[in-house]
């Protein structure tokens, strides 16, 4: 049941090649002019709320979400569902708290948002550094998993072929970001999310049909197939081996909620909305799309466990990253028709598109920050044509090291990298954005302490977690330098990030805080309500 037919493998290979060719041509056709920065960075803010919402949902549902979260659902049941719901809650947090102020305060990058009240190169360079630190691990996860995914679907096992897949995919993603800009990557995200939702919804219906449309029967069968009985349907299975399972679970979900909402490749989509009303409508579509896919993942993940068993899923991949594909394949049963093979090919193509689109969006966010916050900020007289060239070269400068690193880590457990990105988002970016957008007295010192201190704290604690060493499924199972008894760093680093912002502001002195308060009050209506909004 873990092997796919020759017909499915051949159709998938043809579909992957066609998708790569067509999407690259679409990026070329929609690529911006050589000197039009607004088109490259924001696509002229011309996307409708529906299309922008689909692009946001596409950026948010990364390959790590599709493969990793569905794997946790298949292996850990209830805990995986809670993790999936946390992603929806994260997007709702972005929608209700940050989306409109981000759109009002920002222009092209997160550096624009943070420098709105506190201009200066130090703020922009630090924002760029944290953007790179937060997105690089996530890009490595997407790229490094590509070789394993294609090998699993297409049936090859050679290490050199897997490495070739990683390199080819990386080159494609650099091309998408450098050529297509915001509009090109948004188009790929829309194509991805429509394909992913459409194929996933059909598979979920087929899975439910196998259990007479009764979710209760599906859950009972999944509990039986899990080998752990009712524990599969209750909390604690994912973190059962840790010393503080309840605390670990709560902190992990908090890291996902806060971190996911503030990652730069997600927040950059807020700057593409032409009005506050449009950003609200865009986020409504995005939340709806992500919530629907969470429902799909839940059904397919439980279906995989019910139909083929938890042990088979773990044997195929200890992290469960193939559970979504295995569940989709198992839904058809032993005898697979041509139509079912075609549908399964659509599923694999949707996942292939997910990898392409996710990394392309992250490379674009990093390249935009490098070009706009570092190079262009250093030379206010820089021409738009030169900044555009720097943005495209920055995509290459970010993409090439990412490919090289992905090749090195592809045979390791990638879960620590996913967790690292979310922890950086929750511990450094979340407090910086909340304070910058809503706290009148917040100072430049407080902002720098938040960004730098939160980032360094996460980087210092992450190697000590049990995801890196000390267990058979960790990144370094042969070693044991696990001294921090939690899966994520959030228990320490999230409150520390907020505390450092407050301490830095207090250390700035009353006079500086009062200056910041007066400056904030002069733009408060503009940031919070868009009154008198103007561009940098």
Chain segment 3-33, per-residue pLDDT in tens: 566 676 777 778 888 888 888 887 777 766 6
Domain that holds residue 74: 6-529
Is residue 428 in a domain?
yes
Beta carbons of 225 and 305 less than 8 angstroms apart? yes
At residue 529, the pLDDT reads 67
At residue 535, the pLDDT reads 43
At residue 35, the pLDDT reads 65
Calculate the average pLDDT of the chain: 85
Is residue 503 in a domain?
yes
Of 60-64, 129-133, 154-158, the poorest mean pLDDT is in: 154-158
In this structure, the dihedral spanned by the alpha carbons of residues 225, 232, 476 and 348, taken in order and rounded to 10 degrees, is 60
Is residue 339 scored above 80 in pLDDT?
A: no
- Number of domains comprising the chain: 1
Is residue 53 in a domain?
yes
> CB within 8 A of 399, min separation 6: which ones?
170, 171, 173, 174, 177, 363
Q: What is the length of the chain?
A: 536
Is residue 534 in a domain?
no
Of 47-51, 140-144, 518-522, the poorest mean pLDDT is in: 518-522
Q: To the nearest whole percent, how much of the chain has pLDDT over 70? A: 93
Dist. CA 9–CA 3, nearest whole Å: 10
User: How confident is residue 534, by pLDDT bands cut at 50, 70 and 90?
Assistant: very low
User: Which pLDDT tens digit goes with each residue over 27-82?
Assistant: 777 766 666 677 777 766 777 888 888 888 888 888 778 888 898 999 998 999 99
Tell me, what CATH number does 82's domain have?
1.20.1730.10
Residue among 84, 226, 82 at smallest CA distance from 218: 226
At residue 31, the pLDDT reads 67
Is residue 535 in a domain?
no
Q: To the nearest whole percent, how much of the chain has pLDDT over 90? A: 28
Q: What is the DSSP letter of 235?
A: T
* DSSP β-bridge partners for residue 476: 469
CA 192 to the chain's CA centroid: 14
Is residue 357 in a domain?
yes
Is residue 536 in a domain?
no
Is residue 533 scored above 80 in pLDDT?
A: no
* 303-307, 315-319, 377-381, range with greatest mean pLDDT: 303-307
pTM above the 0.85 mark?
yes
Is residue 418 in a domain?
yes
Beta carbons of 346 and 353 less than 8 angstroms apart? no
Is residue 220 scored above 70 in pLDDT?
A: yes
At residue 536, the pLDDT reads 41
At residue 515, the pLDDT reads 80
């Amino acid at each position: 049941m873990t092997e796919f037919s020759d017909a499915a493998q051949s159709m998938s290979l043809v579909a992957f090649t066609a998708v790569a060719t067509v999407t690259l041509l679409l990026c070329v056709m929609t690529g911006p002019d050589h000197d039009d920065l607004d088109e490259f960075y924001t696509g002229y803010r011309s996307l409708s709320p529906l299309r922008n919402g689909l692009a946001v949902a596409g950026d948010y549902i990364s390959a790590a979400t599709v493969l990793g979260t569905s794997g946790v659902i298949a292996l850990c049941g209830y805990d995986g569902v809670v993790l999936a719901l946390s992603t929806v809650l994260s997007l709702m947090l972005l929608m209700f708290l940050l989306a409109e102020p981000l759109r009002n305060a920002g222009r092209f990058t997160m550096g624009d948002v943070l420098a709105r009240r506190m201009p200066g190169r130090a703020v922009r360079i630090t924002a760029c550094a944290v953007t790179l630190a937060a997105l690089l691990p996530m890009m490595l996860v997407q790229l490094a998993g590509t070789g394993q995914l294609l090998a699993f679907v297409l049936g090859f096992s050679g290490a050199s072929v897997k490495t070739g897949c990683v390199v080819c995919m990386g080159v494609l993603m650099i091309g998408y970001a450098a050529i297509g800009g915001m509009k090109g990557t948004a188009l790929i995200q829309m194509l991805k999310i429509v394909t992913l939702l459409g194929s996933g919804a059909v598979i979920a219906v087929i899975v439910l049909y196998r259990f007479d449309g009764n979710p209760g029967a599906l859950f009972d069968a999944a509990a039986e197939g899990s080998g752990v009985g009712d524990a599969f349907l209750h909390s604690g299975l994912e973190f059962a081996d840790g010393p503080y399972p309840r605390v670990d679970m709560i902190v992990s979900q908090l890291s996902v909620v806060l971190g996911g909402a503030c990652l730069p490749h997600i927040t950059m989509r807020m700057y593409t909305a032409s009005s506050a009303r449009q950003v609200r409508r865009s986020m409504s579509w995005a939340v709806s799309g992500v919530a629907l896919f969470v429902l799909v993942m839940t059904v397919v993940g439980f279906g995989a466990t019910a139909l083929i068993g938890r042990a088979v899923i773990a044997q195929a991949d200890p992290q469960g990253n193939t559970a979504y594909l295995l569940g989709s394949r198992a839904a058809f049963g032993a005898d697979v028709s041509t139509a079912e093979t075609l549908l399964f090919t659509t599923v694999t193509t949707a996942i292939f598109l997910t990898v392409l689109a996710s990394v392309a969006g992250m490379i674009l966010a990093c390249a935009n920050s490098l070009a706009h916050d570092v190079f262009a900020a250093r030379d206010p007289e820089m021409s738009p044509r030169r900044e555009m060239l720097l943005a495209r070269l920055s995509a290459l400068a970010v993409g090439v090291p990412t490919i090289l690193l992905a090749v090195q880590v592809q045979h390791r457990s990638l879960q620590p990298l996913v967790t690292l990105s979310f922890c950086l988002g929750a511990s450094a970016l979340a407090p910086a954005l909340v304070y910058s957008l809503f706290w009148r007295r917040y100072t430049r010192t407080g902002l720098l302490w938040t960004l730098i201190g939160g980032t360094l704290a996460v980087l210092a604690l992450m190697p000590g977690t049990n995801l890196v060493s000390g267990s058979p499924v960790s990144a370094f199972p042969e070693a044991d330098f696990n001294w921090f008894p939690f899966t994520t760093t959030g228990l320490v680093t999230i409150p520390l990030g907020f505390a450092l912002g407050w301490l830095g502001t207090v250390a700035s002195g009353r006079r500086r805080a009062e200056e910041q308060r007066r400056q904030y009050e002069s733009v408060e209506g503009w940031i919070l309500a868009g009154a008198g909004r103007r561009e940098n």
